[in-house]
Amino acid sequence: MNFTNDIDELKEISRRMRIDILKMLHKSGSGHPGGSLSCVDFLVALYFSKLDHSPARGKRDKRDKFVLSKGHAAPALYSVLAEAGYFDKDELWTLRQLKSSLSGHPHALSTPGVEITTGSLGQGLSQANGIALADRLNGHDSNVYCVIGDGENQEGQIWEAAMTAAHYKLGGMIVFLDNNDLQIDGHLRDVMSIYPIKEKWEAFGWHLEEIDGHDFGQIFEAIENAKKEKEKPSLIWGHTVKGKGVSFMEGLAKWHGVVPSDEELKTALKELAPAGK
Per-residue pLDDT band at 234 (split at 50, 70, 90):
very high
Q: Is 8 helix (H, G, I), strand (E, B) or coil?
A: helix
Per-residue pLDDT band at 236 (split at 50, 70, 90):
very high
21: how many CB neighbours lie within 10 A of its CB?
A: 29
CA dihedral sign, ordered 238, 164, 49, 19: negative
| Residues paired with residue 131 on neighbouring β-strands, in sequence order | none
Rg (alpha carbons) of the chain, rounded to whole number: 17
Domain ranges of the chain: 7-272
In the chain, the amino acid numbered 36 is S
**Spatial distance between the Cα atoms of 257 and 202, rounded to a whole number of angstroms:** 32
By C-alpha distance, which of 110, 147, 94 is closest to 125?
Answer: 147
Task: Decide if 92 contacts 102 (C-beta within 8 A).
Answer: yes
- Residues sharing a CB contact under 8 Å with residue 176, sequence separation 6 or more, in sequence order: 39, 42, 145, 146, 147, 148, 213, 236, 238
State yes or no: pLDDT of 49 exceeds 80.
yes
Mean pLDDT on 257-266: 97
**Spatial distance between the Cα atoms of 22 and 115, rounded to a whole number of angstroms:** 24
Q: Is 254 helix (H, G, I), strand (E, B) or coil?
A: helix
* pLDDT value of position 275: 75
CATH architecture of 7-272: 3-Layer(aba) Sandwich (3.40)
pLDDT in tens, 16-39: 999 999 999 999 999 999 999 999
Per-residue pLDDT band at 219 (split at 50, 70, 90):
very high
Q: Is 163 helix (H, G, I), strand (E, B) or coil?
A: helix
Mean pLDDT, the chain, whole residue set:
96
Per-residue pLDDT band at 1 (split at 50, 70, 90):
low
